[in-house]
Each structure stands twice: as C-alpha cells, then as structure tokens.
C-alpha cells in the first residue's frame, strides 16, 4: 500500500493519498481541454478502545481550487450541477471534505464482530469500493463514466452504518442523507436535509484475493434539480488483486450498477470492467464501460428528456515511475479514450466515436517496507480503503 505509517503513543497513524497533475484533452464538438490537478489526501488513526478497535478518518481534496467548480473535461460524463444547470461532458470536482468519520469494530464471539460507523461526511453502504480507492483504478486519472450508477454516494453529508461480520463476510445497513453534494464544494451540505435514505450491502470474500459484494439503496431526492424524484439503486461487484513477480500486483474489478427512477418505470444499467497491472517501474491500465443515459442527463435538445441512449467507452493507458523525492513517488503517464455513441447523438458530438487524451504526472506516497498493509481492498475489515 502506498502510505506512510507512524506510531504516536497508543495510536497507529497512516497517511496516504493520490494526485494527478494532468493535461486533459477531449475532442469533438463537445470537447474541451484543461490543465488541472485531481487529488485527495487521507489520514487515519487507530487504537484499541474497550476491547475493540477505534478508527478516526479525515479525507480532504483541493479540487475545488485545482480543478474548479465546473470540473474537468470528460466526454459523455454526467451528474451534479454547475451554475444551476446539469453538468455534462465534464466530471465534477470532489468536495473539500470527502470524509470525516469514526469507525468502531469489536468482537462479540470468536468468529463474529460488530461495527458502527458515524460520519458527518462519509460513505454509506452503497456501491463497490469508490473509484479513488480501487486498486484497479489506481493509475487512471479520470473518473468512470458510470460513477453515478455505482459509487456516486461516496461523499455523503450524514451517514450512520451498522454492521456484523465474520472472517469472510460482512452485512451492513446504512441510514443517510440521500442528496448529492451541491455546487458549493467547501461547505457542509446540511441545510434543509436530514437522514432520509437507506441501504444494505453484503460483502463476501471466497478467497484471500477475491471480494464479492451486492447492494441495494433507496435514495430520497438525490438530484438538486429534480427534488421530487427519488430512486432505487442496485448493483454488484467482483474485485480481485494478486501478486505478479517480486513486486508487482494485478488488480481487476467487474462492476454492475443500475438506477431505477421511482414513478418513471425506467431502469438504467451500467457495467464497467477495469484492470491495473503495476509492475513496479511500469504500469498498464484499461477500462471498458457500457451504460444507458438519458437525453436529459446528456442535455440533448429537441428530443423527449426520457429518451435513452446506449453509450460505451474504452480506455487504455500506461504509466512509468520516474523517481522518489521527499517520500513521494512520481510517475509519468498517458491515457487514451474512445467513446462509442449511437447515430442519433452524432450531431451533438460531431462524431459517433469521439475520443480524448490525457498526459499526467502522478504523485503518491512511496511504499513502506516496515508496516505492510495486506488487506484485500473491499474486505469487511477495509472496505473503504
């Protein structure tokens, strides 16, 4: 794990994060380009309390300033708003406060434990491991196009989650605020909102390198522009990580996510298959996606807003580590993408196959040798990481 570890009395501290200084170019009639810096940093402190383990977390991002309120260019991406209008063909920035939370876990029998997660800002039991934390997405600087069908609730203002787990399985239930973050990316989004949504997720690890999960959620009025509309969200994921050679890892994720808009009789699905091969000095990554998006989401004029379009995307990339300084490891990377659109939206995008290219410098903590964290991301003990 790329993190720095310290001991402070009875506390074990871990600091980790990721940053991409990037030039992002997206082609076609809806394309744009931008120099920006996507990033997040997280600190965790853990100690024993009353026979269990207490962990407190803080995760922050400077993207409100380094990316800006409109986000970065990303063709066919949708979700959230800018200046009161739906964002399209851009990825919104993360909020300054991505997580402020406490997690307590305690055994109640030899093979059974319970957990309680309280978060003024945090992640409910919805979706797979969020893309900023997935090993299978660790080298890709841009978000999946299916983000809001799968892990879009990973920044939620108000979460309470209880769980019960064994060595290989965990069942969680959450009560949370279903509204997505607003355009003010530096505040706490509590005004006029309460814990009005709920979810459940089960995670099972059939082996030490495989984690399977499935979830259901009811989200009350998630979209600021459509306050009368609520939805059901369902999905499932399979995550794998395995060693390659002396120092390499190969991580893969297969994820399904769907939104069922209540009252609209409209189930829209998404699939993503992504993989990251980290060989130490060299890394290779790829992502294939399919999703069904509406004319309202893509902001396609002159057609009924409920019109659906099948869209797909293919991403391939390469990154090479270039050295270490001040505890950070640098890598130079390139990412290419090709989108596949139906002929009915060719006029809006100028092509049925618009593409994009990003070149970037990746910054992350160097791996530590003394305190290796070997938990499978997505396991009951370390689902968020």
Q: Cβ–Cβ contacts within 10 Å for residue 310, how many?
A: 12
| pLDDT band per the 50, 70, 90 thresholds, residue 247 | confident
**375 pLDDT above the threshold of 50:** no
Cα gap 158→160, rounded to integer Å: 7
Q: What is the pLDDT of residue 51?
A: 93
User: Tens digits of per-residue pLDDT, 267-309?
Assistant: 899 999 999 999 989 999 999 999 999 999 999 998 999 899 9
The pLDDT of residue 383: 45
Q: How far is the CA of 151 from the CAs of 62, 75, 113, 167, in angstroms?
A: 20, 19, 26, 25
Indicate the pLDDT class of residue 385, thresholds 50, 70 and 90.
very low
Q: What is the mean pLDDT of residues 150-167?
A: 96
For the stretch 102-142, pLDDT in tens is 999 999 999 999 999 999 999 999 999 999 999 999 999 99
Please provide residue 35's backbone torsions phi and psi, each rounded to the nearest 5 degrees.
-100, 125
Q: How far is CA 185 from CA 55, 144, 181, 220, in A?
A: 25, 20, 7, 21
- Under the banding of pLDDT at 50, 70 and 90, the label for residue 225 is confident
pLDDT of residue 71: 96
Average pLDDT over residues 56-61: 98
Q: Is 137:129 a contact under the CB 8 Å cutoff?
A: no
Are 94 and 63 in contact by the 8 Å Cβ rule? The answer is yes
Q: What is the pLDDT of residue 373?
A: 38
Q: Which comes out higher in pLDDT, residue 3 or 177?
A: 177
Reported as a single tens digit per residue, the pLDDT across 68-78 is 999 999 999 99
Summarize the confidence of residues 158-177 as an average pLDDT.
97
Say if residue 206's pLDDT is above 70.
yes
Q: Stretch 76-94: mean pLDDT, rounded?
A: 94
Helix (H) or strand (E) holding 148: helix 147-150
Delineate the domains of the chain, giving CATH numbers in brackets.
3-365 (2.40.160.10)
Q: Quick check: 147 pLDDT over 50?
A: yes
Asked if 213 and 200 touch (Cβ cutoff 8 Å), the reply is no
Find the mean pLDDT for residues 189-199: 88
- State percent of the chain over pLDDT 90: 84
- Note whether 311 and 295 are within 8 A (CB): no
pLDDT at 370 over 50: no
Question: Comparing 123-127, 148-152, 365-369, 377-381, which segment has the lowest mean pLDDT?
Answer: 377-381
Percent of the chain with pLDDT over 70: 95
Tell me how many degrees the CA angle 365-370-371 measures, rounded to the nearest 5.
75
Question: Phi and psi dihedrals of 181, rounded to 5?
Answer: -55, 150
Residue 325 has pLDDT above 90, yes or no: no
Q: Is the pLDDT assigned to residue 62 strictly greater than 70?
A: yes
Give me the mean pLDDT over the 334-344 stretch.
97
Q: What is the pLDDT of residue 30?
A: 97
pLDDT at 368: 54
Whether the predicted pLDDT of 143 surpasses 60: yes
**What's the mean pLDDT in 334-350?**
97
């Amino acid at each position: 794990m790329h993190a720095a570890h310290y001991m402070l009395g009875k506390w074990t501290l871990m600091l980790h994060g990721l940053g991409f200084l990037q030039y992002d170019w997206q082609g076609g009639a809806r394309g744009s380009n931008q120099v920006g810096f996507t990033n997040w940093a997280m600190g965790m402190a853990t100690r024993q309390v009353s026979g269990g383990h207490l962990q407190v977390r803080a995760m922050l991002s400077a993207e409100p300033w380094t990316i800006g309120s409109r986000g970065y260019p990303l063709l066919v991406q949708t979700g959230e708003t800018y200046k009161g209008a739906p964002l399209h063909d851009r990825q919104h920035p993360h909020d300054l406060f991505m997580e402020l939370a406490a997690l307590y876990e305690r055994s109640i029998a030899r093979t059974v434990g319970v957990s309680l997660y309280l978060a003024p800002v945090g992640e409910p039991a919805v979706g797979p491991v969020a893309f900023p934390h997935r090993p299978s997405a660790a080298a890709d600087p841009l978000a999946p196009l299916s983000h809001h069908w799968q892990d879009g609730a990973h920044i939620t203002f108000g979460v309470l989650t209880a769980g019960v787990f064994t060595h290989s399985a965990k069942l969680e239930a959450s009560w949370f605020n279903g509204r997505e973050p607003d355009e003010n990316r530096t505040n706490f989004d509590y005004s006029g909102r309460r814990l009005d949504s709920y979810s459940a997720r089960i995670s099972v690890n059939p082996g030490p390198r495989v984690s399977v999960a499935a979830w259901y959620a009811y989200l009350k009025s998630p979209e600021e522009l459509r306050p009368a509309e609520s939805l059901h969200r369902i999905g499932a994921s399979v995550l794998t990580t395995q060693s390659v050679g002396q120092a390499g890892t190969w991580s893969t994720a297969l994820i399904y996510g769907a939104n069922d808009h209540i009252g609209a009789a409209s189930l829209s699905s998404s699939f993503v298959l992504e993989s990251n091969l980290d060989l130490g000095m060299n890394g290779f990554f790829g992502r294939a996606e399919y999703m069904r998006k509406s004319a309202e989401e893509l902001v396609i004029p002159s057609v009924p807003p409920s019109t659906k379009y099948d869209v797909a995307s293919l991403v391939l990339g390469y990154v090479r580590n270039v050295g270490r300084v001040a505890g950070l490891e640098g890598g130079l990377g390139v990412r290419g993408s090709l989108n596949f659109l139906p002929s009915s939206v060719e006029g809006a995008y100028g092509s049925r196959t618009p593409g994009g290219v990003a070149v970037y410098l990746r910054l992350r903590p160097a791996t530590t040798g003394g305190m290796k964290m070997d938990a499978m991301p997505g396991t009951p003990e370390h689902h968020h990481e």
